[in-house]
Amino acid sequence: MLQTLREGCARSATFRAIVEQLEVTSTIVYVEHGVCGFGHFKACLPNAITVVGNTRFLRIIVEPGTGGAEQLALLGHELQHALEIARAPNIRSADDVSSLFQRIGRSPHCPQGMPACYETSEALAIGDAVLAEVLKSQKTKRR
């Protein structure tokens, strides 16, 4: 996943800006392959959070087989969620994460059997921006 993060930074100014903002926080984000949302989502940031002293650890899961521009857009979207948590120093538990997203997000139609899920306008916009920038970089690369 490190190569994917590097590719995102190289191909999208928006992606790079989020990574740079996260780097100056006390929040560490791990990105790994896996399945989330009972298989309903291709990427997610579980509410689980680990706290050691002042450092908080989060995890982003990306479904194996997701690649290219779509993967970078999904990852940018989830990194924005991590940044939303990183900007709120009082978030120190899964319940705190849930409360934050209930407060700053909106609840779209959740897949059947899923617990409450929330989405933020910023993360949606970031995903769209990253996708547009990556697709533009592909077109520029082909010329």
Q: pLDDT digit string (tens) for 68-111?
A: 899 999 999 999 999 999 999 999 999 999 899 888 887 765 65
| Interatomic CA distance for residues 63 and 24, integer angstroms | 27
| Interatomic CA distance for residues 32 and 99, integer angstroms | 25
Compute the Cα dihedral for 88, 90, 92, 94 and give only its sign. Answer: negative
pLDDT exceeds 60 at position 142: no
pLDDT at 32: 93
pLDDT exceeds 90 at position 55: yes
Q: pLDDT, tens digit, for every residue of 13-49?
A: 999 999 999 999 999 999 999 988 666 678 999 888 9
CA nearest neighbour of 119 among 98, 130, 105: 105
- The model carries a pTM of 0.89
Question: From start to end of 3-142, where are the E strands?
Answer: 27-33, 43-44, 50-52, 55-62
| Interatomic CA distance for residues 135 and 111, integer angstroms | 29
| 2-142 CATH | 1.10.10
Dihedral of the CA atoms 68, 36, 95, 1 (nearest 10)? -40
pLDDT at 110: 62
Q: Residue 113 — very low, low, confident or very high, per pLDDT cuts 50/70/90?
A: low
pLDDT at 138: 75
Over residues 46-71, the mean pLDDT reads: 91
Task: For residue 143, give Cα distances in angstroms to 13, 63, 139.
Answer: 20, 31, 7
